[in-house]
Amino acid sequence: MPYGPLPFALETERLTLQLWEESDADGYRRLVVERKRDHAERTGGLDGHVDEPMSLDEALADIRGARESAPARGIHLLTLHPRGSDEFLGYCGLVIGRSTIDEPELAYELLRSAHGHGYATEAAAAVVEAARATGRERLWATVGSWNAPSFRVLEKLGFRRDRTTIDDQAGEIVWTVLDLS
Ligand X SMILES: CC(C)(COP(=O)(O)OP(=O)(O)OC[C@H]1O[C@@H](n2cnc3c(N)ncnc32)[C@H](O)[C@@H]1OP(=O)(O)O)[C@@H](O)C(=O)NCCC(=O)NCCS
Chain positions contacting ligand X, by CB under 6 A: 108-110, 115-121, 143, 147-150, 152-153
Dist. CA 61–CA 63, nearest whole Å: 5
- DSSP H or E segment with residue 128: helix 119-133
Angle between helices 25-42 and 56-73 (to 10 degrees): 100
Q: Which of 19, 106 has the CB closer to ligand X?
A: 106
Q: Which of 5, 82 has the CB closer to ligand X?
A: 82
Q: Which of 37, 117 has the CB closer to ligand X?
A: 117
Q: How far is the CB of 80 from ligand X (least distance, A)?
A: 9
**Residues written for the chain:** 181
Q: How far is the CB of 117 from ligand X (least distance, A)?
A: 6
Q: Which of 4, 171 has the CB closer to ligand X?
A: 171
Q: How far is the CB of 123 from ligand X (least distance, A)?
A: 8
Residue 54 per-residue DSSP state: P
Q: Which of 60, 173 has the CB closer to ligand X?
A: 173
Q: How far is the CB of 105 from ligand X (least distance, A)?
A: 9
Tell me the backbone φ, ψ of residue 118, rounded to 5 degrees.
Answer: 80, 10
Dist. CA 62–CA 44, nearest whole Å: 28
Q: How far is the CB of 30 from ligand X (least distance, A)?
A: 12
Per the CB < 8 A criterion, the answer to whether 8 and 18 are in contact is yes
Dist. CA 40–CA 45, nearest whole Å: 5
- DSSP H or E segment with residue 144: strand 138-144
